Amino acid sequence: MRVLIVEDQPTLADDIADGLRDQGMAADVAYDGATGLDKALMNHYDVVIVDRDLPRIHGDAVCAALVGAATQARILMLTAAGTITDRVDGLNLGADDYLTKPFAFAELVARLRALARRSPASPPVAVKGDLVFDRARRRVSRGGRPVALTRKEMGILEVLLAADGAVVSAEELLERVWDENADPFTHTVTVTVARLRRKLGSPDLIETVIGSGYRLP
């Protein structure tokens, strides 16, 4: 899962991003509404976390612009404005969820995972042959045998499963599973896919399409 945090308090934004990375998510940050909107429209995010009181472009305008652009990202408003009227206004703008500050980090993580599972392409449990990926519990098994994966390996597998047999390029995997600080000129994706293959065992589930990327046929 890749998340964008649009929050004008840098320390809070960075702390949220670090915490989400510890949970196996790729997390980018923006400290104002204009930068956040640019990043949200330029990159693929599963969820965009938006504070309402943002400089340059207000959070409400960011939310409305993303809804108007028909992005696939879910929108979670995270703000100190916590009255019933504030919540209703935020949801009426098109936000998918609304969480007030102060908040429990565990609740934020749970809400992000719930939002990601709402996507039609991302059922709670994905099955491919004898491979089972329980997204809610973050567990993978093959042939009934648990498979211990790192966060990045699990992220790659999740993207390939969601593609439903379509080819996913290494560049897209880098964008979806890593954050904007990833070096695009490394062999990170190739090495991680190779490790994932070994852990999933035989017969090989991941097909390499020369010059194009990878898929789960």
User: Rounded to two decimals, what is the model's pTM?
Assistant: 0.69
**pLDDT confidence of residue 24:** 83
Q: What is the pLDDT of residue 38?
A: 95
* 36-58 pLDDT, tens digit each: 999 999 888 999 999 999 999 99
Residues 6+ apart with CB under 8 A from 122: 116, 135, 158, 162
- Sign of the dihedral through C-alpha 51, 64, 34, 109: positive
**Mean per-residue pLDDT over the chain, rounded:** 89
d(CA 161, CA 155): 10
Looking at residues 86-92, what average pLDDT do you find? 83
Q: What was the pLDDT predicted at 182?
A: 73
Q: How far apart are CA 69 and CA 37, in angstroms?
A: 11
Secondary element (H or E) of residue 47: strand 47-50
Which domains, ranges and CATH numbers included, belong to the chain?
2-117 (3.40.50.2300), 125-215 (1.10.10.10)
Spatial separation of the C-alpha atoms in residues 166 and 216, rounded to whole Å: 8
Distance CA 107, CA 189 (A): 31
